[in-house]
Structure 1
Amino acid sequence: MFLSDIFTFNCNERMGSLRGARVALIACGSFNPPTYMHLRMFECARDVLEKKYGCDVVEGIISPVSDHFPKPGLLPSKHRLRMVELATRNSNWIHVDDWECAQGTWTRTIAVLKHFKMMLSRRDSGNTHLMLLCGGDVVDSFTKFTPSGTHLWEPADVSEIIRDFGLVVIYRRNSQPQATFRKLSLAKQLLDNVYVVNDDVLPNDISSTRLRAAIKSGHSIKYCTDDAVIEYIASNGLYRGADDEKVVDSNEREKLISEPSVR
């Protein structure tokens, strides 16, 4: 990955007070199952922050959504948590945290970020800056609406996330994060906290959806995720059929549409 393939939203060299900072990255989502794309996102983000902006990226946190998120096909958190543990077992900086998936209700992304900011502040005396790591498809969902006509993401949440935490966005095929940010009409000083990473050298379109479909149809998923994850899926008979589907109340489905699980 070349630095020329990495750019901030406004294509400038500004990074404000974050230049040279100690940074932790957090990715929220289903991880159903975790893939190499999820891990690759962390590596791409660390490359741009360290090599281009002189940051010290000290930690990568994966925060799986709780079982209370009404998403069809969402496996119980005990399985998703264990799979992420297996996928990250050889990493010296990326790990999974069970706080979000242990909550008794679905937790909005802004609340998750505030929790981990507080934890990092206690541990590091406020010296570590937490940033949200996500794909371009998640950014595109910022402007979407639920079937009932309400915002999928609360506009105030989006502004607060960008202002107080910042975003590192990994471009995904068919995503248009730059266009989405323009639609949001955010203040320029907020957009200075958005960094879009375009990994043209090693693009990765692996997705959990594709892996689930491949498993269900009997195809191999080797080299798409860690071998230990593949073994866990096989030994527990996961993603094989309708038994994996989670029943979702129609009213809840109306309130929280199924994609994405980060908002």
Structure 2
Amino acid sequence: MKRVALIAVGSFNPPTIAHLRMLETARSHLEAIDTHVVEGIMSPVADSYNNKPTLIKSKYRIEMVRAATKTSDWIRADDWECTRPTWTRTIDVLKYHRERIQKKFGSDVGLMLVAGGDFVDTFPRILPDGSNLWNPSDILKIIVDFGLIVLTRDGSTPLNTLDSMPGFSEISGKIQFISDEVCPSAVSSTRLRAAISAKKSIKYATTDEVIEYIQENSLYQK
């Protein structure tokens, strides 16, 4: 039986049930096709990631991810990426964790990136300074050397995005697209931040532990 670990990267600003369900759904999909998932990792981005003006400090975001995964017996928070002094490209995050995973579970264990469809839609994005958010060669290595599982989401068009990128339509078949038929959700970190700022309830949109941490630290207040 093939063995893999799963990793989700992102801001987690804050983590939501959609982030957790994404990993859970990916594991169910893989185990249904005779692939054993040994571990799940949630890796928040570092503070130096300058593409999100609403990003709060990683010291809060990593603690929220720890709170969100507190009751999971297979998903854990990892602070390696968010404690680095500079922004780390996703391909380098994957290389680091694959090495750690193989030391922990064996050299035959692979690592796959799990992301939402909106994540794939950022592949061709150009930053305000004119540079590419993603290096095309990094995307190719992620898909071919690691593996990418994409959870489809309303409003995202990952297949169209790949088709629009030169050469990438040829490897779109290597990406596994899944949907959460048990708990389809449009909840997002952006919506949670807006709700908190408007003093609306976010209960059941994330875990109680995350809500308690947000309240204790007065996060996302106007």
Give me the TM-score of the superposition, normalised by structure 1: 0.80
Give the gaps of 5 or more residues in structure 2: none
Deviations 1:147-183 (A, max 9, x none): 3433221101100111110100011110011111222
1:83-114 Cα shifts (integer Å, max 9, x gaps): 11111111000000010011010101001001
Larger Rg: 1
Q: Is the 8 A contact 2:2 2:34 kept in 1?
A: yes
Q: Percent identical across equivalent pairs?
A: 50
**1:234 lines up with 2:188 in the alignment:** no
Q: How does 1:192-203 map to 2 (within 5 A)?
A: 192-203=173-184
Whether the aligned pair in 1 keeps the contact of 2:163 and 2:169 (CA below 8 Å) is no
Count of equivalent residues: 220
2:41 and 2:75 in contact (8 A); partners too: yes
How big is the shift at 1:193? 2.5
Alignment partners' CA distance in 2, 1:167 and 1:105: 25
Aligned to 1:175, the other structure's residue is in SS state coil
Note the C-alpha offset of 1:201: 4.6
Matches within 5 A, 1:20-99: 20-51=1-32, 53-70=33-50, 71-99=52-80
Matching residue of 2:205: 224
Which of 81, 86, 89 does residue 100 from structure 1 map onto?
Answer: 81
Shift of 1:73: 1.8
Q: Which runs of 4 or more aligned residues in structure 1 lie more than 3 Å from their structure 2 counterparts after TM superposition?
A: none
**Aligned residue in 1 for 2:93:** 112
Q: State how far apart, in whole Å, the 2-side matches of 1:141 and 1:79 are.
A: 25
Higher RCO (CA-CA < 8 Å; seq separation 6+)? 1
Match of 1:157 in 2: 138
What CA RMSD, in Å, does the superposition of the two structures yield over aligned residues? 1.3
Tell me the CA shift for residue 128 of structure 1.
1.1
Q: 1: distance between equivalents of 2:73 and 2:186?
A: 25
